[in-house]
Each structure stands twice: as structure tokens, then as C-alpha cells.
Amino acid sequence: MAKSANTKSTPVKSSEHLEFCLRLTRAYSTLTRRLDNSLSNLHGLSFSDFMILYYLGRAPESRLRRIDLAERLGVTASGVTRSLMPLEKLGLISREPDPRDARVGYATLTTGGQQLLSYALVSIEPIAKEAIQKISPEQMAEFLMVLGELAGINLSNH
């Protein structure tokens, strides 16, 4: 049975570990919302769409296996397939089969996708810069390492 609203309770104690996770999640949500609003208003893209274009734009030949793209985005293979469909319909990406293995598929950034990505980068770079303006270069290097470890990625490959 729930306690009455008038009953005083002891505040929940939070560990430093939990507090870090909560603040990281809040920071992610806040920054994602700002980036999403800017991209949506200026380019008709969500931040999730932008991330797909961004990772493809950084890949050799602007092409990644769908499973590798899913790993970079932190989603499942089926999740990335669902995310690619609207971008493919808009002509921003194309899907290509692997001629040697029918189970493997590639996502490739089209010329239109590359152009939109370049415009989107110009639009959101100031937001990213403003978001970290109070962080020193030394702190930034450390944060990148910590976030890379948390995400389980090798930063040199992403």
C-alpha cells in the first residue's frame, strides 16, 4: 500500500555511479533535443537520421555493412534496417547487396545524402561547440576516452 502524501519519507540515497549515469542520460537527452530541433527545422532530418548519414560519410567509400552501422549507432540490425528505409526513399542512402554473400547488405551514402550531410554539419557544429565551450581540451580528451569506453568503441575507428 502506498504511503500517504502527508507522510514524511527518507530521501533516496544515490551513489556516485548512479548519479553519473543519470546525469549522462540527462545531458544526452538535452543535447539530442537541441540537435534534433535544429536539424528538423533546417533540414527535415532527425538527429538519428543525421547520425546514419554521418557514420556513412566517415566510412571508406561512404559505405558500411548494415551490421557495422547498427553497431556504431548502438541499435539492432533490424532497428538500423527500419531507420534506413525512409532515408532510402528520400534518395539519401542506397542499399547494396554483397555479391559474394547474400546475407550481407551495405548502406551507401548517395550524392544527395553527402550534400545534405555537409549542410547539416554546418548547422549543428555551432550547437556542439556551444555545448562544450566550458570544457578544456584536456577534459575533452579524457571525456572522449571515458565515453568511448562506456560505449565499447575504439575511437580511432569511429
d(CA 135, CA 141): 10
d(CA 113, CA 129): 24
Low-confidence ranges of the chain (pLDDT < 50): 155, 157-158
Tell me: the pLDDT tens digits for 18-28? 998 898 999 99
**Topology adopted by domain 20-151:** Arc Repressor Mutant, subunit A (1.10.10)
Q: Which three cell numbers stand for residue 37?
A: 530541433
**What ranges do the domains of the chain cover?**
20-151
Task: Return the pLDDT at 44.
Answer: 94
